[in-house]
Structure 1
Amino acid sequence: MRRLRSPEGQANPAGIYDALHAMGDVVPAPWNAYLVTGYEACSQVLRGRNWLALDAAWQERQPENYRWHNRASSDMNKTLTRLNAPDHPLQRRCLGNLFGRDTMNTLTDQVEKDVGRLLDGLSDALAHGEADYADLVGERLPISTVGGWLGIPAESHPKLVRLAHVQAYSQELLPSPVQLADACDASAELWDFFAALVDERRAAPADDTVSHWIRDLDAAEPDREVVDEMLRALTFFIALASLETTATYLSSMVWQLLREPGRWSWLADHPEHIDHALEEVLRYDPPIRFNTRYAQEDIVLAGVPIPKDSMVHVMYGAASHDPRRNEDPHSFDMLRQGSHLSFGAGSHYCMGPALARLEARALLVGLLKRFPGLRVTSPPVYEPRMAIRRVASMGVSV
């Protein structure tokens, strides 16, 4: 796992995936957990009723230690990603389809405008030589989209991105005490920001997304404090989930399509395969390398007995590179139409795939049209993280 976090493992994990697969579909880990590497076993965990998110009740049963008993964990425990039945399905039903057709139609115009503005900025920077694509475009499009949708002032966007980068360390496998302390501070600041946002919209409703949510949820739930707490957790979670994962996806997209000669120009000549290429990026280089569940009871997974309460780490990347599911998995094939679990599966399936795909498609179409000679001059530099990956920088030129 340390190799997977290293610069070499971030850039090319194929050999690590092969080593994990050679060890089996379920591999015992030295911290009383299990790595789930096979595609079918990963899918079984994500879809199974006996595998639960690491909720507050599970954390309370763990020995007192810095990893679980902290502010960052308590904040995350309020979000959908850490809830189980009955709270999780109840909240999902109350919220409905956050990114339904009407929302996506509204966001399409906004995303296309944001793409145009960001590519104008990239063009200006490229006129002077190499530009940092990750900083100028990859990280800015998600916050522009989500920030605009939630009605967050543009001057707050850089702060939210910075805090999200730090808070993400709380979701790592084994963060250091210093990383977790910084993540707790960032989490507290983010929570206060979104609590103030909900309170502001409660006091002065307007024609914006959060105000509409307040009106809709008030009609379904008479307790306003319950509604407001749900919305604080929702806005907090949407910002964290969309900023980190989509930004990495948008940078990985450009890197994978430019790292081999001919891919970029071929896709420009065959735009009907853009969606296939975007799905292959998700399969080949998922923004999240693993997610974690725990066993609700003693259970056998892929022939391996798993004791109750044990953690299992669902290895998304290893699953997508399982040769039994995707033939020749270490080959990047834009026409593959293969299988991946990058948005999860089951009851905790990601709420925002449509938004991530919208941003990626709009951006790729714009890049192919405006920068046919784009090339990477400095390969991606990655944060030393495993769970939610981040491309910190990537130089491009024309």
Structure 2
Amino acid sequence: MPSAAVLYDPVAPDFQDRHAEVYRALRDECPVYRESRTGFYVLSRYADVWAASADWATFSSVTEEADYHKPMMVDLDPPAHTLIRRVVSQAFTPRRVAALEGAIVAKVRELINAFVERGSCEIMSEFAALLPSDIVGELLGVPQEARPGLREHTEELMRMTVPRDGAAVAERVYAVFEDLLDERRRRPADDMMTMLLRAEVEGRRLTTDEVLGFCYLLLVGGNDTTTNLIGNGMWLLDTQRDVRERLVADPDRIPPAIDEILRLEPPTLTSGRQTTRDVELHGVVIPAGARVQLLWGSANRDEREFPDPEHLDVDRKPRHASFGHGPHFCLGAPLARLEARLAFRELLAVVPDYSVVGEPRRVTSSWARGFAALPLTFTPGRRFA
């Protein structure tokens, strides 16, 4: 029998506080763990998670869990996934992403200006949640007045412990995008919604449901992951202030620091697959048709892959799993890295001495890692011109 520490229950109230301990026990004692509540088989070691995420023929992304969604790339396998990805990847070319830098810097400084003279802020609601929602809204072509409502929907989804509970919220998101797509059909614009409506896959246009599925995916993935990346990073840099001092002195170290933050505190802890055949791992047979969880959060802390894994080492070059691997490697990774790099650069320039105070509050989620509230104090600074 596994030890008490291995009783993996991601919906337990204390899981977010002791997840590293649970992950370590899973890796050491039960690298293939059967969760009693859901029946999932849980993979926790880096080598197993990395291999399974690339082996779509065995660990399929086509699962029953997504039955309330419109068709989304994350729920498809090649070749259907490849065709859709080829179309939407046009929105994330290096040139298109680099062209957003000026707009991102402007938004970052606008948000910082709202609190920098005060000497305190709640960084999640005043900065981390607002930046990506505005950038994703700009990419998609969402009007300013519709962005707060969509942001509230994504925050509601992030708080849910069971993904299937998001059906009602998803329908509200789809309703907003259906209206916006109708408007784009009447009045095309230079945005992603228009591009998707005009795109073709093997001689056919994307269906409305396919377009809605991608808009939903970008909204949720582009908002929550970057929001959590920024919040997790600010918290980590407060706990390891020697690292923060290095970044303040040498902002060129921020990009590798972002990868370390992603490794140690990934915004997404897990994702699901379904086996297409019997698989034997570590003496355990996972039967065909079984649901499998790939624990990105555990893989990133595996001592077998990362020496001293609990340490934030900005000189490390980690091959972390936080953006996935294989055919489902995150399309938006370059954009998330750009947003995070500019956010940390500007924040550390004006509030280098910040401290986390009060009662930071974690997001209650079985799959996300982030903060619902992260209050900071700092020496009041000067606004950007």
Q: Is the contact made by 1:107 and 1:149 (CA closer than 8 Å) also made in structure 2?
A: no
Compute the displacement of 1:332 (Å).
Answer: 1.9
Distance 1:34 1:141 in 2: 36
Aligned counterpart, 2:96: 103
Q: Is the contact made by 1:278 and 1:361 (CA closer than 8 Å) also made in structure 2?
A: yes
2:53 maps to 1:46? yes
CA 1:12 to 1:28, structure 2 compared with 1: closer, same or farther past 3 Å? closer
Distance 1:257 1:161 in 2: 26
CA 1:6 to 1:375, structure 2 compared with 1: closer, same or farther past 3 Å? farther
2:72 maps to 1:79? yes
- Three-state SS of the structure 1 residue aligned to 2:174 is helix
More displaced 10-residue stretch of structure 1: 265-274 or 342-351: 265-274
Aligned counterpart, 1:19: 25
Counterpart amino acid of residue 290 in structure 2 = S
Alignment RMSD: 2.2
Distance 1:90 1:304 in 2: 35
2:247 maps to 1:241? no
Q: Is the contact made by 1:284 and 1:330 (CA closer than 8 Å) also made in structure 2?
A: yes
Q: How does 1:45-194 map to 2 (within 5 A)?
A: 45-55=52-62, 58-59=63-64, 68=65, 73-124=66-117, 127=118, 130-168=120-158, 172=161, 174=162, 180=165, 183-194=166-177
More displaced 10-residue stretch of structure 1: 306-315 or 295-304: 295-304
Distance 2:8 2:33 in 1: 15
2:268 maps to 1:285? no
CA 1:379 to 1:10, structure 2 compared with 1: closer, same or farther past 3 Å? farther
Compute the displacement of 1:258 (Å).
Answer: 1.1
- Three-state SS of the structure 2 residue aligned to 1:246 is helix
Deviations 1:101-141 (A, max 9, x none): 221122111111111111111314xx1x5321111011111
Deviations 1:220-261 (A, max 9, x none): 56555x443322211111001111111111100111011233
Counterpart amino acid of residue 146 in structure 2 = S
- Three-state SS of the structure 2 residue aligned to 1:333 is coil
Aligned counterpart, 2:381: none
Deviations 1:71-118 (A, max 9, x none): xx4342511111123321221123334311221122111111111111
Deviations 1:122-177 (A, max 9, x none): 314xx1x532111101111110111112221222222111111223466x4x46xx
Structure number with the higher helix fraction is: 1
Compute the displacement of 1:271 (Å).
Answer: 1.9
CA 1:339 to 1:311, structure 2 compared with 1: closer, same or farther past 3 Å? same
TM-score w.r.t. length of structure 2? 0.90
Aligned counterpart, 1:229: 209
Q: Is the contact made by 2:360 and 2:373 (CA closer than 8 Å) also made in structure 1?
A: yes
- Three-state SS of the structure 2 residue aligned to 1:367 is helix
- Three-state SS of the structure 1 residue aligned to 2:360 is strand
Deviations 1:44-92 (A, max 9, x none): 110013334453xx42xxxxxxxx5xxxx43425111111233212211
Aligned counterpart, 1:351: 331
2:273 maps to 1:273? no
Aligned counterpart, 1:28: 34
- Three-state SS of the structure 1 residue aligned to 2:331 is coil
Deviations 1:21-53 (A, max 9, x none): 122321222232211011000011100133344
Distance 2:359 2:323 in 1: 25
Structure 2 portions without partners, runs of 5+: 1-6, 379-385
- Three-state SS of the structure 1 residue aligned to 2:277 is coil
Aligned counterpart, 2:186: 203
- Three-state SS of the structure 2 residue aligned to 1:313 is strand
Counterpart amino acid of residue 192 in structure 1 = A
Aligned pair partner of 2:289 in 289, 301, 309: 309
Q: Is the contact made by 1:256 and 1:281 (CA closer than 8 Å) also made in structure 2?
A: yes
Aligned counterpart, 1:385: 365
Distance 2:69 2:60 in 1: 11
Aligned pair partner of 2:195 in 189, 202, 212: 212
Aligned counterpart, 1:251: 231
Q: Is the contact made by 1:7 and 1:382 (CA closer than 8 Å) also made in structure 2?
A: no
CA 1:221 to 1:214, structure 2 compared with 1: closer, same or farther past 3 Å? farther
CA 1:164 to 1:47, structure 2 compared with 1: closer, same or farther past 3 Å? same
Counterpart amino acid of residue 152 in structure 2 = R
Q: Is the contact made by 1:21 and 1:38 (CA closer than 8 Å) also made in structure 2?
A: yes
Percent identity, aligned pairs only?
26
Q: Is the contact made by 2:70 and 2:209 (CA closer than 8 Å) also made in structure 1?
A: no
- Three-state SS of the structure 2 residue aligned to 1:76 is coil
- Three-state SS of the structure 1 residue aligned to 2:197 is helix
- Three-state SS of the structure 1 residue aligned to 2:241 is coil
Moved over 6 A (4+): none
CA 1:318 to 1:100, structure 2 compared with 1: closer, same or farther past 3 Å? same
Aligned counterpart, 1:297: 277
Counterpart amino acid of residue 40 in structure 2 = A
CA 1:5 to 1:187, structure 2 compared with 1: closer, same or farther past 3 Å? same
TM-score w.r.t. length of structure 1? 0.87
Distance 1:272 1:159 in 2: 36
Structure 1 portions without partners, runs of 5+: 60-67
CA 1:115 to 1:104, structure 2 compared with 1: closer, same or farther past 3 Å? same
